[in-house]
Chains A and B, each alone.
Chain A
């Protein structure tokens, strides 16, 4: 089945710094989503981005489907950005199933 790799696994930033999280996947996809998991476990939808670039406030994402990767940019990070960021892809197999990476754990310190 499709493989999803996220990097880096852990990231520590000072408040105000910028960061880039990467998601590589091993096959063509119908769907790619980025999530932020907060300390209570809730998965918050950040982007639904099978291709192209989207921006939402301080966050933006780019997916290059032909090269099988996606990037999540966080600018001017805040302590509330801390948590785990997951990339999940839906393989081009004819039915909906999200395959998750193991996540990037982000800690933003004041």
Chain B
């Protein structure tokens, strides 16, 4: 089945720790995206990548980092510099200039 997978589903982090969220897609899409959703809000763009080995900051990139070494994978690292990391994180992918499709999300809680 083609789709987007994210892991883990739930993640708990102690303050000061870095954590990495996984996003994999087998849709052969060139573009991939990371969004953050806070309670009662819409999604905001963290980072996006239009092609392997290239990525761009979105609206709220501070405290986050990404890599795009393979077409299928776009992991997001939430660093200790992110002041308020507790949120729901969603990964998406698309063909160039096309409809975006989303994974099931990861809920991150900082203890």
| Size class of the contact patch on chain B | 20 to 34
Is A41's CB under 8 angstroms from B42's CB? no
| Size class of the contact patch on chain A | 20 to 34
Within 8 A of A (CB), among B26-43: 31, 33, 35, 37, 40-43
Please pick, from B42, B94, B101, B105, the residue contacting A86 in the complex, using a CB distance under 8 A. Answer: B42
Interface: A55 (CB within 8 A): no
Interface: B25 (CB within 8 A): no
Counted as pairs of residues, one from A and one from B, with CB atoms less than 8 Å apart, the total is 56
Contact A100 B104, CB 8 Å, known A30-B97, A31-B99, A45-B99: no
Interface: A66 (CB within 8 A): no
Residues of chain B having any CB pair with chain A under 8 Å: 31, 33, 35, 37, 40-45, 48, 50, 56, 58, 88, 90, 92, 94, 96-97, 99-102, 104-105, 107
